[in-house]
A and B are shown apart, each in its own frame.
Chain A
Amino acid sequence: MGLEMNRRMFLGGLAAAAIPARATVTTPTAPVAIAKCKTYAESLPVITKLMDQLGGLGRIVKNKTVVIKINFTGGPTTRLGYMSQARTYWTNPNHLGAMITLLDKAGARRIHIAEGADSPFVSLEEWMYKASWDVAALKNAGPRVDFVNTNIAYPGSKPYSRFKVPNGGHLFPAYDLNTVFEESDVLISMTKAKEHTTAGVTISMKNLFGMTPNCIYGSGAGGDEPLKMPKGGRQQILHGGRGQPPKSSLPELDPNSSRQDTYRIPRCIADINAARPYQLAVIDAVESMSGGEGPWSPGARPCSPGFVFAGTNGVTMDAVGMALMGFDPMAERGTVPFEDGDSALKLAEELGVGTRDLKRIEVIGTPIAEAKFDYRAVPGGIYRRGQPRQGQPGQFPGRGNQPAQPGQVPGRG
C-alpha cells in the first residue's frame, strides 16, 4: 500500500473492515521515506527525492485539488529567542515552496494552503507577512495557489463539512471542519517534528488537530451556530471539555469522561486522523525545537536534527517520526514521551488508521538509526508537568551543559 491509496479508497477500506473501536486488529501500513537534510537550501532536491522514493507525487495529485495543512501554532510574532518560527516550530516556507513547486509539476489542479488563523488577522497571508514570510515567493512557486483560514467559514454555500469518525470515535462521533478539507481530493500534512507538552509528540497527526475551526471548537463558541469570527483558542472545548460546540455540531460522546487535556487531546487527534486521514505528509526536522511545541513550553530549546521524512499514513509516519526523535512508538501512557498522557498513535491505531509497529513499516532511504536525533538529549533540561524544572529551561543550550551563545543551535556533533 502506498501512494496509490487515495482518501476514498482508504475510507472505503475502513468501512469494509468494520473495525470495532478500541479493538486490536491488523491495521494498515504504509512506507515512510527518510532523508538527511542539513539546511533549508536543500528543501527542493530532498523532498523531490522523498517523493520519488514513495512512488512519485503525480500518482496522488495529478488533476487533483490539494490542500496543504501547514502549522502556525502560537502567534506570528512569537519566536524562540532570535530564531524565526520557520526554523523552530512552524512549517518552514522553504519546504512549503518546494512542495508547491513539486505539486505543480506533478499536475495538481489547484493548491490550497490551509491553517487556522485568529482575528484580527483574518487572512492566512497576514500571519505570513507578520512573521516575515515572503508570501509572493509562495504564490509564485506554482499557479493556482490560494490561502484558506480554516478557523472561519469556507466561502460559499457550504462553510463547514461533517467528517464522521469511523468506528464511532474516541471523543466526538464526528467533527465539523472547513469545507476546503472536503472539497480537496488530497490532504497533505506539513509541519515540524517536535515534542508536545500535552500530546507527548507533535508530528504529522497532531498537525491535523489544528483543522478544527475555532468558530466551532474555540473558546466562546457554543450556542446554535458557529461563530462568525473566533473568540479564542481550543482550550475551553477541546482541551478542557468545559463546554460543547454549537448545537449545529455533534456533541462529544461522553460528557462524563475525563476533562484532562492529556486524555482528550490524544483522542481528538486520533479521531480527526481517522475521520479525515491525509494522503501525504512531509515532516520537517531540519531545524526544530526540543522540550515542547513552542517557545511557551517551559523546556523549549532549539535543535538541528537534520532530517526530513515523508509518508502516506498518519500512524506509520508518526511511529517512524517518534523513532527518529529517539522515542519508542509503542510507548504507553506514563512512559517517555507520554509521561503525562495517552498516545495518539495507539488511539489512532485502535481506530484502524495505521500501525505503529516498526516491524510492519517499510522504511525507504536513510535508515532510522542513521538519521536518529535524540530530542531529549538536547541540553537544557526536561520539564514535565508537576515536576520541578531541571537545569535552566529556556536558556540557549550548548554542548556539555555550557551556555551557548544566542543563535547557537545544538545539532549533530
Chain B
Amino acid sequence: MAMALPDSIPMRWPSGPLELATRQKKEGFTAQGKQALEYWHTPAALDIIQGSPVNCLVIGWAAGLAEDAEQQRTIRPLVDAARQRKLDVVGWVDGKTDNNAAIAAAQAAGLTAVAIQGFTGKSDFPVLPWGDRAHAPWSTSAPVLPVTDNVWPGVAGGRPDATAGPTALPWLDSNGWFLQVARARTQTPLWIVFDPPGKGEVVPARSYQTAVCDVEIGGGRWVISLDDAFRAGLAAKDAAAKDAWTGLANTVAFFVKHPEWKSYKSLGAIAVVSDFSGENYDFSGEVVNALTRRDLLCRVLCDTGKELPALTGVKTVLRADTVAPSAPIRKSLLAYVEQGGFLVAGSKWGSDGKSIPGASADFDVRTLGKGRIAVAKEDTSDPWDFVTKAQAHLSHADDVAKLFNASASGGFTYENSPDGKRALLQLLSYSNYGGGGRGGGGGRGPNAGGGAPAAVPLSSLATAWTRHKYRSAQLWTLEAGAPTKVEVAPCEDGGTEYHLPAMASYLALDFEV
C-alpha cells in the first residue's frame, strides 16, 4: 500500500493492554481512564474521528513488555476497521523491543508502518525512525520524521489555563524555535510528538487549538494526543467533549487547507548560523528561542560544512558556536561582512578585521570591508545572556515586521513563499483568555470559538506592522471560513500597519507581494 504519511493527520491512539500496563503504574490513573482505554481499543471508537481530518492512527505496538503480544492480538479488529475506513495505522515501538519481531507482526497485521526509535536497520516494511530533539535522525529517508521531547505550548510555569497579560512579557513554552531549527536540518516532514500535561490536569479546549497552531505555524504536524478526561468524555459521548473535539478538528482542517504555507521561509533580518549538533544544539537552539521570545524575527541556517546560500535581506548573523567555523562557512560569512553585513560571533571566531577600541564592553567590534564583526570577548554558557549582549548591537531599525499589543503571543512568524509572490504573518495567542471551556468531561461548555467576553478590552486589539508595502492583504482566522479584509493604515516611519481584530487565538495575514 502506498503511504501518504507526509500529508496525513496523525493521532496518538492509546488503547489496550499495552497502554494499560504502562498507565497503571502511573499516578492519577483512574477507573474512568481504564474504561476509556478499553473503549478506544474497539472499532466503535473510530466513530469519534468520523468526519474529522484525522486519517492516521498512531497505536501502541510494542514496548518490550509482556503485554506486547496481547496488544498486537487484541488490536487487530481496530486495525482492520481502520484500514476499511482508509485510515493509515502506524505502530509505535518503544523500549527494549525486538524490532524485527515488531516489524514482522506489524506487516502481518496490515499496519501502514512502524515507528522505531533510532532505527537504522534495513526493512522491506516501512519503518519511521524516530528520536528525541537532540538525537533525531535528521538524514532519514523515511516519509516522515517523528520527533519526541517537545513541549505542551502555553504560558510557562503555570497551570495550562494560565493567562498572559497585555503589558507583561510572559515566558512561553513553544515548539516554534525547535521547528525552525528542525526545518533547517531536514526536508523530511516533521511529526511533532507531545502529550497534554499529565497528572490528571484538566486541559482547556483552547489549549488543544494552541497546540495545533503552535506546530503548524512552525511548519510541522502535531501527532494529536488527548488527555484522559477528554478521551473519556468522547467515549461517553459527552457534549462538551464532542464540541471541544470539533474545535480541535476544525483547527487542524484550517491548516490542511493551506499546505503551501509550510514551504514558506522566514523573512527575519537576523540569521542564526550553527551546526546545531552537540552542545551547539543546546546553545544555538536556545539563542533562536530567546530571539523569538524577544520578537526578533530570525532565520535559521544550518552549517552543513558547505557555503551558505545568499544572505539576502539579512542584516545580522549570529554564530554562537564555541568552535571555529569550517572553511566554507567562514568564507561565506566573511564575504557577507565585507559586503556590509554584521556578524556577531563567539570568541573562537578569529581575528579578522580591524578592531574599534572601546566599541563594546562585551564584544571586540571590528570593521571588515563595508561591514562589522563583533567577536565575544568571553564565551558565556547562557544563551539568554548572549542574546541580551548581542541585542545591544542589533537594531529594531532593521525590523521587517512587528506587533503591538501582542505580548500574549509567543512571538510570531513572518515568511514568504518560495517564489516570493506571497508573504504570510502568523500570530498565535498563548493566552487562554476568552476560552473558559475544558477539553473533556465536567459538563461545562466548550470554548471552540465561544466564551468571548462581552467587552473588548483595548489591550486585545493588536496591530501588525510591516516594512514592506503589499499589493493586498487578507486576514485568516480559525473562526471565519473565508479570508476577510483587514484595515490598513500607513505608519509615520514609512511602514504599513494592519489593525487586527480582537484576537481569539490565531490569525494570519496573507499578503500579495
Contact = CB atoms under 8 A, between A and B. Distances in A.
Given A120-B392, A122-B392, A132 B458 contact: no
Contact of B458 (A84, A120, A395): A395
Contact of A79 (B397, B456, B463): B463
23 contacts: A77-B402, A77-B407, A78-B459, A81-B458, A82-B463, A82-B497, A120-B388, A129-B396, A130-B402, A132-B402, A132-B495, A133-B493, A295-B166, A295-B167, A295-B458, A295-B459, A296-B166, A296-B459, A300-B458, A301-B458, A394-B458, A394-B459, A406-B461
Nearest to B498: A82
Contacts of A119: 388
Nearest to A77: B404
Interface in A386-405: 392, 394-396
A132 B402 CA distance: 9
Interface in A368-413: 392, 394-396, 406-407
B403 interface: yes
A235 B90 CA distance: 56
Contacts of A125: 395, 397
A296 B499 contact: no
Contacts of B497: 82, 132
B458 A78 contact: no
A306 interface: no
B263 interface: no
Interface in B111-132: none
A120 B295 CA distance: 12
Contacts, number: 92
Interface of B: 166-167, 294-295, 388, 391-392, 395-397, 399, 402-407, 454-459, 461, 463, 465, 487, 489, 491-495, 497, 499
A80 interface: yes
9 tightest CB-CB pairs across the interface, nearest first? A129-B396, A81-B458, A394-B457, A392-B455, A81-B461, A130-B396, A79-B404, A82-B499, A132-B493
Contacts of A84: 492
B330 to A, nearest CB: 29
B494 A129 contact: no
Given A120-B294, A130-B396, A392-B455, A75 B167 contact: yes
A303 to B, nearest CB: 13
A126 interface: yes
A121 B394 CA distance: 10
A86 B497 CA distance: 15
Interface of A: 74-75, 77-82, 84, 86, 93, 119-123, 125-126, 129-130, 132-135, 295-296, 300-301, 392, 394-396, 406-407
B455 A394 contact: yes
Contacts of A394: 455-459
A135 to B, nearest CB: 7
A406 B499 CA distance: 9
A167 B463 CA distance: 48
A77 B405 contact: yes
A406 B489 CA distance: 13
A280 B282 CA distance: 53
A77 B406 contact: yes
Given A77-B405, A406-B499, A82 B455 contact: no
Name the residue among A81, A122, A123 with the largest chain B CB count within 10 angstroms: A81
